[in-house]
């Protein structure tokens, strides 16, 4: 491009930007009646303290005077509360129930039918079928897979349909 065309392009771009900024293109105010960028600048400026304060002196408020009862007015105090909350019957019932549940659980852990998780199958499902061969090792899975692949290859080799992609 020629220098003249570049200059015209730059001037027109700056002109459009100047016109748009002069029109005050509406920007979101988020309820502050200020544009977001101006509100952000105001927030940053408000973080910096404008007046210098003496940092050695802590800011302390005077505490109010204590209120004392009149010496002649001796009110009757309420009876003292029980020191031990564990003596109440509700707590004792809860403790006994908890102990019995733990003892039942401890007794059932060695039990064969004890099911620890819901995902653990019941004992009926864990027993092998009566027709299942017991004590025989069968073929290894990798050997079975190789045989299946070999048989599939032989079946496809003489078939012309295997050459078609569909």
Per-residue 3-state assignment (H helix, E strand, C coil) for 55-99 = CCCCCCCCCCCCCCCCCCCCCCCCCCCCCCHHHCHHHHHHHHHHH
What is the C-alpha to C-alpha distance for residues 75 and 55, in angstroms, rounded to an integer? 48
Q: Is residue 39 part of a domain?
A: yes
Instruction: Identify whether 9 is part of a domain.
Output: yes
pLDDT at 146 (0 to 100): 95
Given this model, what pLDDT does residue 46 score? 78
CA distance 144 to 148: 6
Number of domains the chain is built from: 1
CA angle 73, 75, 81 (to 5 degrees): 155
What is the predicted pLDDT for the residue at 52? 58
CA distance 50 to 92: 64
For 94-106, the pLDDT digits (tens) are: 888 989 888 877 7
Question: Does residue 97 lie within any of the structural domains?
Answer: no
- Asked whether residue 158 is domain-assigned, the answer is no
Tokens, residue 153? 């290859």
Q: What is the pTM for the complete model shown?
A: 0.21
DSSP codes joined into one string, 8-68: HHHHHHHHHHHHHHHTT-----TTSSS-HHHHHHHHHHHHS-SS---TTS---PPPPPPP-
Q: What is the pLDDT of residue 105?
A: 76
- On whether residue 25 sits in a domain, the answer given is yes
Cα torsion 153, 155, 156, 160 to 10°: value is 160
Any domain includes 162: no
Residue 36 lies in a domain: yes
User: Taking residues 23-43, what's their average pLDDT?
Assistant: 73
Q: Given this model, what pLDDT does residue 106 score?
A: 75
Residue ranges making up the domain that contains 31: 3-47
- With 60 as the cut, is the pLDDT of residue 29 above it? yes
**pLDDT greater at residue 59 or residue 94:** 94
Average pLDDT over residues 51-79: 75
pLDDT in tens, 114-157: 667 778 777 788 788 888 888 888 889 999 999 999 998 887 76
Residue 16 inside a domain? The answer is yes
What's the pLDDT at 26? 64
Give residues with Cβ within 8 angstroms of 85, minimum separation 6.
91
Instruction: Give the span between the Cα atoms of 85 and 159, in whole angstroms.
Output: 87
Closest CA relative to residue 25, chosen from 11, 14, 35: 35
Between 35 and 145, name the one with better pLDDT: 145
pLDDT, mean of residues 51-61: 68
**DSSP code for 130:** T
């Amino acid at each position: 491009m020629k220098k003249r065309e570049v200059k015209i392009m730059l001037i027109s771009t700056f002109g459009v930007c100047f016109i748009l900024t002069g029109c005050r293109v509406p920007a979101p105010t988020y309820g502050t009646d200020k544009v977001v960028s101006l509100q952000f600048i105001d927030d940053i400026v408000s973080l910096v303290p404008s007046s210098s304060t003496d940092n050695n002196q802590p800011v302390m408020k005077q505490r109010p005077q204590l209120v004392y009862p009149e010496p002649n007015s001796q009110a009757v105090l309420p009876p003292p509360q029980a020191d031990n909350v564990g003596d109440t019957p509700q707590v004792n019932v809860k403790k006994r129930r908890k102990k019995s549940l733990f003892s039942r659980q401890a007794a059932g852990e060695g039990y064969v039918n004890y099911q620890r998780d819901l995902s653990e199958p019941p004992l009926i499902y864990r027993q092998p079928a009566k027709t299942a061969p017991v004590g025989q090792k069968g073929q290894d899975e990798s050997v079975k897979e190789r045989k299946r692949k070999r048989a599939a290859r032989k079946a496809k080799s003489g078939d012309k349909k295997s050459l078609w992609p569909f």
